[in-house]
Amino acid sequence: MTMDPKHKTALQALSLVVVMGALAWASVPFYDWFCRVTGFGGVTNVAETGSDVVLDRTIKVRFDASLDRDMPWEFKPVQREMELRIGETGIAFYEAFNPTDRPVAGTASYNVTPYDAGAYFSKIACFCFTEQVLQPGERVQMPVTFYVDPEIVDDRDAKFTKVITLSYTFYETELPETTAQVMSDPASTITVN
């Protein structure tokens, strides 16, 4: 049985739409995976523990902070720069302050430059892994624990890196449901026994 040319064209067009939709749906997780594996775009790695190898060679790590246009916090690195040995675990702090009269939730996005170094910058713990909520007038110091993977010295492009910049941008997000409920019902209180 042969198919009418109009039906064949319609079926081909529908197939093309389905394939393009599937590719668009799969592109976000694939791109995320690609960035994490290659460090493309300055995406960092996550590690459970520090490096087993520490080299005699040092590298400088600079810290940068910015806010989304609508984020009311103040946000800055406590220390602008540190020098550590490649493979050595470092800890840096960022300070956030909520000058408003309401709780504000935020999430930090991050990247590393130069991009070639992203695949070798490993975070062990970071405030950026979870949403942060600051109460009115609250000031906090938030840590990030990290190391630069010693394999960076074997990378054709990244081995010449002398300075890595870790940048964070905070964006306002919706308050968690529990915080929002307490704010909408001032008579409700949390009792700790």
Residue 15 pLDDT greater than 90, yes or no: no
- Mean per-residue pLDDT of the chain: 83
- Whether the CB-CB separation of 122 and 146 falls below 8 Å is answered with yes
Query: Hey, what are 136's tokens?
Result: 């009115």
Residue 168 pLDDT greater than 70, yes or no: yes
Coil, strand or helix: which one is 67?
A: strand
b/e per residue 118-152 (b: at least 16 CB within 10 A): bbbbbbbebbbeeebbbeeeeeeebebebbbbbeb
The larger pLDDT score, comparing residue 44 to residue 129, is at 129
Mean pLDDT of 65-72: 95
Question: Which residues are registered as beta bridge partners of 59?
Answer: 84
Predicted local confidence at residue 192, as pLDDT: 41
Predicted local confidence at residue 165, as pLDDT: 96
Residue 81 pLDDT greater than 50, yes or no: yes
Phi/psi for 43 (5° steps) reads: -70, 135
Q: Which strands, in side-by-side order, build the sheet including 132-134?
A: 81-85, 58-67, 163-173, 104-113, 132-134
The larger pLDDT score, comparing residue 99 to residue 181, is at 99
Minimal CA–CA distance to 127: which of 109, 147, 139, 112?
Answer: 109
Mean pLDDT of 151-171: 94
Minimal CA–CA distance to 173: which of 81, 91, 73?
Answer: 73
- Whether the CB-CB separation of 158 and 42 falls below 8 Å is answered with no
Query: Hey, what are 131's tokens?
Result: 């949403």
Q: What is the spatial distance between Cα 6 and Cα 12, in angstroms, rounded to a whole number?
A: 10
Minimal CA–CA distance to 96: which of 73, 112, 119, 128?
Answer: 73
